[in-house]
Amino acid sequence: MSDNGMRDIAIVSFAQRQQAAIPTESEVEFMVPLMAAAKDAVGLTQQDMGFTCSGSSDFLAGQAFSFVATIDGTGPVPPISESHVEQDGAWALYEAWVKLQCGDVDTAFIYSYGKSSPGSLRDVLATQMDPYYVAPLWPDAFAIEGIAARMLLESGKVSERQLAEIASRSRANAVSNPHAVRSELKTVDEILAEEYLADPLRPSDIPASADGGCAMVLAAGDRARELCDRPVWIRGIDHRIDAHTLGARDLTTAMSASIAADKVGVNDDKIDFAEIHAPFTTSHAVLTDALGLGEEVNINPSGGPLAAHTMMAAGHIRFGEAFERIARGDGDRAVVHATAGPVLQQNMVAVLEGE
Amino acid sequence: MGKERTAVIGVGQTKYASTRGDVSMAGLLREAAYRALEMAGKTWDEIDAVVMGKAPDFFEGVMMPEIYLAEALGCVGKPIMRVHTAGSVGGSTANVAASMVQSRVHETVLTIAWEKQSESNAMWALSLPQPFTTSVNAGAGGYFSPIMRRYMAMSGAPDLIGCMVAFKDRQHALKNPYAHLQQHDLTFEQVVESPMLWDPIRYSETCPSSDGACAMVFTNEAGGDAHDGPVAWIKGTAMRSESNSYGGRNMVSPAASEQCADDVFAQAGIHDRRKEIDAVEMYVPFSWYEPMWLESLGFAEKGQGWRMVEDGSTNLEGGDLPVNTSGGVLSTNAIGASGMVRFAESAMQVMGEAGEHQVDGCRTAFGHAYGGGAQYFAMWIVGATK
């Protein structure tokens, strides 16, 4: 038990796959090896899992009840205790964390996936908007972020050069990440020379769209210590949402991210690095401020979503990236963040610590 | 330290109808949420988190609608989650919301499930062509009818048991002002003579397509004790899933159904299911699923569930195990909400708040939902006392 009366819950294994497009495999086909890898790493089978939860989107799969096919990949025979969120897998992790806090199970299996390459994600995401007044105008996701980006630049909080620096740094960080789909080095001046894609956003400012997914095992207390050498404890986790109506909030800030960061005590101790789900350079800039991350914090050592962005798993993968880094000793305390909705509408923040 | 005792202190439903053209999706949800808050004596400020459920996003064509609905649900600055477990989703959503309180992560949570089917074409949404996959092209009735036929062959049940279930539920619906179908002049003969859709299921033995929402407010033990009004205490929650097709799968009584029931009855300390449960709200979108689930859930011996229908045991009037006194899914099916309605109606029974369809002296009630190819299950048991 920790000080706040919560159980100690840790990430004990993780597996991921991301590539620019996976054209010849279905979601079930590419998830089965990942599910197996995450379980094998800790020597567990599906029947050892106290609870299972997944995150995905029917709209990406182009099919109602799409997750019903993917559950077969877990091998749910005999039956399993299971649930699904129509959200990024970070929220599936949250549901499993709550279930573990209830105390009736000690292990949980979480997976998430998305395959956006068959469609145009920036157009598909327009269907997230207010269905009566906004979605019929079919505003694409880059255009909406472009509006927010223009407001951010005009607020003076950040410059186009600073955005290009974020993009350049992501590419450099991603060189060592085998799952990155965008890691060619570019200087700030090279990025600033790119044509606008959605004024003032350039191609390097937008997420590196990928297909893929991830799988993860959580365990409580001593069970976690039995399963791996260095469990990575979830010291705090919280999520909040902002207003949906773009005109009803200040797009140059992320109030909900700040509340969540405060709830989990992001700045109560030294942060070794952060993995934030910032799809755009602009969201990176806004989040750095909203989460109170100082200049000394290494943000997105994996390259982040600018290097590989698998819709519905990108937030979950931030947890996995932080787990792997801490598990191998490249840091002890990390901040993890996941987002959903247009312009950072919904935000989850967690603090992870090594054993 | 065990789980926190959790209480239902508010239930709210919309009037269900084939088309609720008078409200937007946001307006529909607010209608249910406000009624739940009013009964709970709570304001939005006192709600710590919202857990939302609904069936496929394609039904309304809105991707992840919790994003759009955040303001309407008073969520700005708060947590909101979205559960989706096929047809069982309303039940699963309630269970996930309950776990938010049981785990002591939150003190007071609002849960809500909904569907606005009039803003969509469900058959289109369920029939999107997929590469390398054969479409059933038969709808849910076509999928489930051979399983019902199998049950009839195994149990030797008389042909009109399904009609008896449908007629009973439609009579019960007349006592529930929120129910979609209000067929005052319906006769048993009309049910029997209605067109055969998917043999053995006739038109009057299947559910309607509804707009509607259902919400509940949950709170912790101290909140339940302090509540000035009716309370339903959650005695057990369980969810189980299994593969839709594997060799040896019993589609009449799936293993996931039986294991989920065993789990939830054990949590509630119930040994004689038929005697100790006073009211049942189960997910019956096609009439024959009532006798089938009575057996699968352990209320009847295998092959004997239909006898409870035949002798009136499941009727509100005179039955010892009244089933779906609200009218059930056969009278109202706002798909994403349907599971939560079962849970909410069971809570209303033990609160003594079910109005004309109240089961006299109801102390313990069972709520049930299923989904997918009868492969997803969510159940709970609620009681009038801790």
What does the DSSP 8-state code read for residue A71?
A: G
Q: What is the pLDDT of residues B59-112, one digit of tens each?
A: 999 999 999 999 999 999 999 999 999 999 999 999 999 999 999 999 999 999
Q: Are A145 and A251 in contact (CB under 8 A)?
A: no
Residue A181 has pLDDT above 90, yes or no: yes
Closest CA to A100 of A206, A279, A270, A237: A237
For A81, which of B71, B130, B239 is closest by C-beta distance? B239
Distance from C-alpha of B64 to C-alpha of B143, rounded to nearest angstrom: 27
Distance from C-alpha of B220 to C-alpha of B212, rounded to nearest angstrom: 27
What integer is the mean pLDDT of B15-21?
98
CA distance A215 to chain B (A): 18
For B70, which of A94, A98, A241 is closest by C-beta distance? A241
Residue A213 has pLDDT above 90, yes or no: yes
* Cross-strand pairs, B6: B220
Closest CA to A103 of A190, A1, A203: A1
Comparing alpha-carbon positions, the chain B residue that sits nearest to A91 is: B81
- pLDDT class of B121 with cuts at 50, 70, 90: confident
Contacts of B225 (CB under 8 A, 6+ apart): none
Q: Which chain B residues are Cβ-neighbours of A315 within 8 angstroms? A: none
Residue type, B130: Q
Distance from C-alpha of A300 to C-alpha of B367, rounded to nearest angstrom: 46
The rounded percent of chain A whose pLDDT value lies above 90 is: 97
- Contact check, Cβ <8 Å, A86/B76: no
Q: What is the pLDDT of residues A91-100, one digit of tens each?
A: 999 999 999 9
Q: Which chain A residues are Cβ-neighbours of B76 within 8 angstroms? A: 241-243
Comparing alpha-carbon positions, the chain A residue that sits nearest to B249 is: A77
Q: Are B300 and B176 in contact (CB under 8 A)?
A: no
What token pair was written down for B28?
Answer: 């529909």
Comparing alpha-carbon positions, the chain A residue that sits nearest to B65 is: A128
- Contact check, Cβ <8 Å, B243/A71: yes
Distance from C-alpha of A228 to C-alpha of B260, rounded to nearest angstrom: 31
Comparing alpha-carbon positions, the chain A residue that sits nearest to B79 is: A240
Q: What is the pLDDT of residues B262-296, one digit of tens each?
A: 999 999 999 999 999 999 999 999 999 999 999 99
For B63, which of A52, A77, A128 is closest by C-beta distance? A128
Distance from C-alpha of A169 to C-alpha of A124, rounded to nearest angstrom: 29
Closest CA to B116 of B64, B55, B75: B55
Q: What angle, 0 to 180 degrees and rounded to 10, lies between the N-to-C axes of helices A281-290 and A141-155?
A: 50
Residue B133 has pLDDT above 80, yes or no: no
Q: How many CA atoms lie within 13 A of B14 on its CB side?
A: 33
Our CA angle for A305, A309, A312, nearest 5°, is 120
Distance from C-alpha of B68 to C-alpha of B77, rounded to nearest angstrom: 14
Q: Are A115 and B291 in contact (CB under 8 A)?
A: no
CA distance A246 to chain B (A): 11
Neighbours of A12 (CB within 10 A): 26
What token pair was written down for A340?
Answer: 């959903």
Distance from C-alpha of A308 to C-alpha of A302, rounded to nearest angstrom: 9
- Contact check, Cβ <8 Å, B67/A341: yes
- pLDDT class of A320 with cuts at 50, 70, 90: very high
Q: What is the pLDDT of residues B217-231, one digit of tens each?
A: 999 999 999 999 999
Q: Please provide the average confidence, as pLDDT, over all residues in chain A.
A: 97
Q: Which chain B residues are Cβ-neighbours of A144 within 8 angstroms? A: none
Report the pLDDT value the prediction gives residue B128, as an integer from 0 to 100: 78
Q: How many CA atoms lie within 13 A of B113 on its CB side?
A: 35
For A244, which of B59, B68, B83 is closest by C-beta distance? B68
Distance from C-alpha of A288 to C-alpha of A191, rounded to nearest angstrom: 21
Q: What angle, 0 to 180 degrees and rounded to 10, lies between the N-to-C axes of helices A89-102 and B89-102?
A: 60
What integer is the mean pLDDT of A173-194?
98
Reported pTM: 0.98
CA distance B146 to chain A (A): 21
* Cross-strand pairs, A70: none
What helix, strand, coil percent values describe chain B, rounded to 5?
40, 20, 40
Report the pLDDT value the prediction gives residue A244, as an integer from 0 to 100: 97
Burial (CB < 10 A; 0-12, 13-18, 19+), residue A229, is: exposed
Contacts of B35 (CB under 8 A, 6+ apart): B10, B11, B12, B13, B14, B215
Comparing alpha-carbon positions, the chain A residue that sits nearest to B96 is: A95
Comparing alpha-carbon positions, the chain B residue that sits nearest to A339 is: B67
What does the DSSP 8-state code read for residue A197?
A: S
The rounded percent of chain A whose pLDDT value lies above 70 is: 99
A61-70, A281-290, B30-39, B155-164, range with the lowest pLDDT: A61-70
What integer is the mean pLDDT of B313-339?
98
Residue type, A237: I
* Cross-strand pairs, A309: A209
For A80, which of B70, B241, B244 is closest by C-beta distance? B241
CA distance B356 to chain A (A): 35
CA distance A105 to chain B (A): 12
For B70, which of A52, A83, A243 is closest by C-beta distance? A243
- Contact check, Cβ <8 Å, A65/B99: no
C-alpha separations of B51 from B28, B84, B111, B273, B366 in Å: 16, 11, 5, 30, 21
Q: For B329, list phi and psi in degrees, rounded to 5.
A: -65, -25
- Contact check, Cβ <8 Å, A98/B103: yes
CA distance B1 to chain A (A): 8
Comparing alpha-carbon positions, the chain B residue that sits nearest to A239 is: B79
Burial (CB < 10 A; 0-12, 13-18, 19+), residue B190, is: middle
- Contact check, Cβ <8 Å, A95/B103: no
Q: Which chain B residues are Cβ-neighbours of A237 within 8 angstroms? A: none
Residue B138 has pLDDT above 70, yes or no: no
Query: In which residue are the tokens 């996003």 written?
Result: B57
Which of helix, strand or coil describes residue B180?
Answer: coil
Q: Are A98 and B98 in contact (CB under 8 A)?
A: no
Q: Are B117 and B211 in contact (CB under 8 A)?
A: yes
For an interface test with B, the pick among A26, A51, A58, A86 (most B C-beta atoms closer than 10 Å) comes out as: A86
For A79, which of B79, B80, B259 is closest by C-beta distance? B259
- Contact check, Cβ <8 Å, B67/A244: yes
Q: Are A135 and A80 in contact (CB under 8 A)?
A: no
C-alpha separations of A206 from A200, A254, A302 in Å: 11, 18, 16
Q: Which chain A residues are Cβ-neighbours of B71 within 8 angstroms? A: 243-245, 248
- pLDDT class of A3 with cuts at 50, 70, 90: low
Report the pLDDT value the prediction gives residue B135, as an integer from 0 to 100: 64
Q: What is the pLDDT of residues B220-269, one digit of tens each?
A: 999 999 999 999 999 999 999 999 989 999 999 999 999 999 999 999 99
CA distance B354 to chain A (A): 30
Q: What is the pLDDT of residues A141-168, one digit of tens each?
A: 999 999 999 999 999 999 999 999 999 9
